[in-house]
Structure 1
């Protein structure tokens, strides 16, 4: 008994629970249990705010009534602008929630989605062993906006991100085809998932070669075609333009990141083209380092497969932890670049990168205090409603600082 007490109640053990990424399991279990309680409290005691749920139900109802032409699918907030996967998922929610009327039931479904997303994210952090446990605690405790996006707003962004993080877990387990399937399903719910696509394509090419890449791209494309068949056969141009409209103009009143610009500049097509050019430039800038990381990733997983039986459990685990880090950094960096260059960010878009921010910051050389300050400032920017010129500029500054920190920590190697 004394030995047990000395082991699990010593200062050293308690210190490791807070700061050692290798001892994250206990903290993760506690956080998941705590989040279940928190979500129940939020649902029961915080007022639900209607934004898009009714519009989602109206759009889905049109399909259920036999309308497959995207030209005629609309809701109170405007035309349907999401791919077919969104329709199938929200059609299921339509029936489960009594045609969208049982909001409380919908909230509990989204609470379940939130816990599922946390589990998937925590699993990634446990596997990579990059971020200390206390950061995950602070992330959960400070995520007011994220809780709101899930259980108080019922947006479709969380659904897409749950599918995405499920695919990331499968990628890390080298379950390529199933990962591609879930990734494409996430894209079919909301197109922001395409921001990860440059890193995923590069991963395919480095790990699977050209033939393997074509197979995975075929899987991704097949998912989109199969899900969209009823709408493609009815009016293909309306479906493509409605569900995959890359030129859609956002409303200035909801922008989080460009409030310091005038509305004329915000809606100007040349401004949009400039942001796209900046996006491509930054992806090219980080291409060399991403290729180095992913080539190393491919080498490590290849070695792990070939000599698994010869390696000790400890060595194998170390190799795969390193491999996961080499995959995650290019993936999350590509997404951050896309978000930083976005034509507009709305409040629900915060979930697009919230859970990857700690990982990105712990891939820089910043001090722990500096990293936490950046996380706190970003949280303040996203919780400023309505957004201001100062909050928008500050958000951009934080994005720039993170990208500079990642760039500064790039490997000094030449890509042949």
Structure 2
């Protein structure tokens, strides 16, 4: 006889089915919101026409600021949909269902959310809008990030880092997960495994960016991994209360970075590593001993990354 399914499994299946219907209704009944789609298609068209200089790839909302993985994914989407919005909405609707399935798997596996809390996953108006009404690249990056998280929960670190790096190649803000992820690697793998897994991630970036790095390396790196961008105050969530003149200032950005690093240090010292004896992590790195982390500890470590993020937008 097979193993009995838990109530969380059946609850997740029901939520997935109901939300799939809801997504279809949103696509059918709610008007599409024109924001970035035309710009995406213009940038992809320039790339497919042979342009490899990131400074020349632009759309009606501005220059291309995403790594090359974005171009590859949206080139495929353009090929499938011929650049039309409605087929793209259907495609992103399927992506939404896949992403929801991944999130349900994570919450079911870790049990960090009560059973009733799973129903909240299908009630977010904004997430539905981002996926099927605005078609943002965040959808692809987030889905890949959740896929990599599942691999981390399964302790498939090398494959997980590879998928994580693909997510970074779609949108750089996925790198916010890098500090706690590095800590998890150090706690879970011998030093050789840490180096090889990070090398896998780096190799992905080299392969993805190769056509651009070969011809215009500085333009590619400065545009797709621009750490000095000034973000629009209107779209901020975390710091909407801050006056715009402060929000766009360099001292404010530096202060946020400093607070972010301090918070990461405090969590690493007093939460993520609180079960480690003094010097245990350092000794582990030296002796290359493995330690298998629980799913809950892995998930917790990767969740605290957005508190002081200036560019945390509604999407």
Give the TM-score normalised by the residue count of structure 2.
Answer: 0.91
Match of 1:258 among 229, 239, 245: 239
Report the equivalent of 1:56.
40
Inter-partner Cα distance in structure 1 for 2:157 and 2:18: 33
Inter-partner Cα distance in structure 1 for 2:162 and 2:276: 21
> Which structure's CA Rg is the greater one?
1
Inter-partner Cα distance in structure 2 for 1:293 and 1:149: 39
Relative to structure 1, is the Cα distance of residues 257 and 207 closer, same or farther in structure 2, using a 3 angstrom cutoff?
closer
SS across alignment from 2:28: helix
Report the equivalent of 2:295.
324
1:199 aligned onto 2:170: no
Q: Given that residues 202 and 291 in structure 1 are in contact (C-alpha distance below 8 angstroms), is that contact kept between their aligned partners in structure 2?
A: no
Spell out, residue by residue over 1:153-209, the C-alpha distance to the aligned partner (whole angstroms, 9 max, x if none).
Answer: 000001101001101111111222211110000011111111111111111111112
Report the equivalent of 2:308.
341
Inter-partner Cα distance in structure 2 for 1:159 and 1:187: 10
Inter-partner Cα distance in structure 1 for 2:143 and 2:216: 30
Q: Given that residues 141 and 168 in structure 2 are in contact (C-alpha distance below 8 angstroms), is that contact kept between their aligned partners in structure 1?
A: yes
Report the equivalent of 1:188.
169
Report the equivalent of 1:410.
none
Number of residue equivalences: 301
Q: Given that residues 258 and 344 in structure 1 are in contact (C-alpha distance below 8 angstroms), is that contact kept between their aligned partners in structure 2?
A: no
Inter-partner Cα distance in structure 2 for 1:344 and 1:174: 30
Per the TM alignment, residue 252 of structure 1 is displaced from its structure 2 partner at its CA by 2.3
Inter-partner Cα distance in structure 2 for 1:256 and 1:146: 15
Q: Where do residues 63-102 of structure 1 align in structure 2 (5 Å cutoff)? A: 63-98=47-82, 100=83, 102=84
SS across alignment from 1:259: coil
Report the equivalent of 1:291.
273
Give the TM-score normalised by the residue count of structure 1.
Answer: 0.69
Q: Given that residues 151 and 159 in structure 2 are in contact (C-alpha distance below 8 angstroms), is that contact kept between their aligned partners in structure 1?
A: yes
Per the TM alignment, residue 346 of structure 1 is displaced from its structure 2 partner at its CA by 2.1
Report the equivalent of 2:126.
145
Structure richer in helix, relative to its length: 1
Inter-partner Cα distance in structure 1 for 2:132 and 2:72: 20
Which of 242-251 and 167-176 deviates more? 167-176
Inter-partner Cα distance in structure 2 for 1:293 and 1:236: 44
Report the equivalent of 2:222.
241
Q: Which structure has more RCO (C-alpha within 8 Å, separation ≥ 6)?
A: 2
CA RMSD of aligned residues (A): 2.0
1:35 aligned onto 2:19: yes
Inter-partner Cα distance in structure 2 for 1:293 and 1:200: 17
Q: Where do residues 388-403 of structure 1 align in structure 2 (5 Å cutoff)? A: none
1:104 aligned onto 2:86: yes
Per the TM alignment, residue 40 of structure 1 is displaced from its structure 2 partner at its CA by 0.6
